[in-house]
Amino acid sequence: MADTYRIEPDMNFIKEVGKLGGQDLKKCFQCATCSVACPISPDTKPFPRKEMIAASWGLKDKLVGNADIWLCHNCGDCSTLCPRGAKPGDALAAIRSYTIMEYATPKALAKAVRDPKMLPVLFAVPAAIFLVVGLVLKLFGIHWLNFGIEEDFVWQAQYINNYLVDVIMIPTAAFAVGVFALGLKRFLGDIHQNAVVEGKTDKEKIDPVGFIKALGRVIPSILKHEKFNDCTENRERSTSHMMVLFGFIGLLIVTGCFFTAEWVFHIEGPYSQINPIKWLGNAGGVALIIGSLLLIKNRLAKKDQVSNYWDWYLVGLVLALGATGLLTEMTRLGGLAGLSVFLYIIHLMLVWCLFAYTPFSKLAHLVYRTVAMAYNEYAGRK
């Protein structure tokens, strides 16, 4: 006898998926063309047909804790071949957006990040934090802002004291890590429970060592963007995605080197333009700019693909980060001290936004998708 399942539709979930880009969801008539067309769908319990059915019925619990929605890379093949124009790829992207907000804490901040009306407020927060912390540091005799040294201007730190940057950025990064840790603990538990119920794995509990080994096996695939090579419609997206990914990795390495040099070895900047670390930083900034411009180009070219504020916020942030970072350096080298410090302040505010809001933005998919792919590898599902 077949198993029975009591359906409890969540109508609000259906509406939210529609708002996030899955507005054509109800056009699906469950023909399974999408699952057949998908080049990266697993052989057992393939997606996205079952996810389209669950979403149409508002079965939130079948989707939010489902690793399969993250195995989808939104290559677009299923949407192109769908005879009804239900756009399964966009529907799964919308469900992923909903899932990120579901696992993020606090919920109020998650809602604010996806609301375009809240963008000025979100950007004003780091400005207020820098001002308040700067005033507090000044009480202790640490002058964090100085506009009176244009003739001797050689380094941004002469304007913005490094104490100010580190006192603010380190706790902000720790906050983001904490939010991710809380969300991933629930997420991993949910996808394992879901996999056990649906027969995707026979493992009763997750073995931490085995999972970490599985994570190590999928990292090279992620870095090489191998899944995109199997796609047809959006294969070219791999170039822009890889440029942004490696741009961030390069800049993370540079930040770590600068932090270590300053606080461990007490080596202050500025660094020579022929320093390899400087090369890596400049290359990372250029990669962010070119990668984000290619993302914009690809999105504008795909008229049939849904793009909303959730998508444009991330692309705009990446482009702004790369542009302000490089322009700060260029104006400093050109002796434009006033303009350089203005750009540097804007750049620092954008970096703060990147750290603080990543667990609530589309960029969080880098973390959740990596975990889901590692779990799929760990479960032995091909």
User: What is the domain-level CATH number for residue 40?
Assistant: 1.10.1060.10
95 and 115 share one domain: no
Give me the torsion for CA of 232, 236, 242, 248, rounded to 10°: -120
Residue 266 counted as domain residue? yes
Find out whether the peptide bond into 116 is cis, omega within 30 degrees of 0.
Answer: no
Does residue 2 fall inside a structural domain? no
Q: Count the residues in the chain.
A: 382
Counting Cα atoms < 13 Å in the Cβ hemisphere of 190 gives 21
Taking the C-alpha atoms of residue 329 and residue 136, their distance in angstroms, rounded to an integer, is 28
- How high is the pLDDT of residue 230? 77
> Which domain-ending residue is among 68, 103, 138?
103
| 3-class SS of residue 63 | coil
Reduced to 3 states, what is the DSSP secondary structure of residue 44? coil
Residues 326, 357, single domain; the answer is yes
The H or E element that residue 244 is part of is helix 237-263
Claim to verify: residue 208 and residue 128 sit in the same structural domain = yes
CA 142, 148, 153, 156 dihedral sign is positive
What pLDDT does residue 148 have?
43
Q: How many domains does the chain fold into?
A: 2
Whether 227 is covered by a domain: the verdict is yes
Are residues 195 and 71 part of one domain?
Answer: no
Residues 126, 250, single domain; the answer is: yes
Give a yes or no: residue 4 inside a domain.
no
For residue 318, tell me if it sits in a domain: yes
- Quick check: is 233 in a domain? yes
**Residue written as tokens 């890596």?**
280
235 and 118 inside one domain: yes
- Which pLDDT value is given to residue 243? 95
The two tokens of residue 380 are 């032995």
Q: Which residues contact 323 (CB under 8 A, 6 or more apart)?
A: 289
Locus of tokens 């203005």: 342
Q: Of 103, 124, 139, which residue is a domain's last?
A: 103
Q: Are residues 213 and 131 in the same domain?
A: yes
Domain boundary among 103, 118, 134: 103
By CB neighbour count within 10 A (0-12 exposed, 13-18 middle, 19+ buried), where does 168 fall? buried
Let me know if residue 1 belongs to a domain: no
Q: 129 and 54 share a domain?
A: no
Q: Is residue 3 part of a domain?
A: no
Residues 115 and 95 in one domain: no
Per-residue model confidence as pLDDT tens for the chain (382 residues):
456 667 778 889 999 999 888 889 889 998 999 999 888 888 878 899 999 999 999 999 889 989 999 998 888 888 889 999 999 999 999 999 999 999 999 999 999 999 999 999 999 999 998 888 767 766 655 555 554 444 444 444 444 556 667 778 899 999 999 999 999 999 999 999 988 888 878 888 899 999 999 999 999 999 988 887 777 777 778 889 999 999 999 999 998 888 888 778 877 767 788 889 999 999 999 999 999 999 999 888 877 777 789 889 999 999 999 999 999 989 888 888 788 888 988 999 999 999 999 999 999 999 999 999 999 999 887 7
Same domain, 235 and 130: yes
pLDDT of residue 154: 40
Domain span at 44: 11-103
Is there a single domain that holds both residue 150 and residue 118?
A: yes
Same domain, 249 and 301: yes
Entry pTM: 0.89
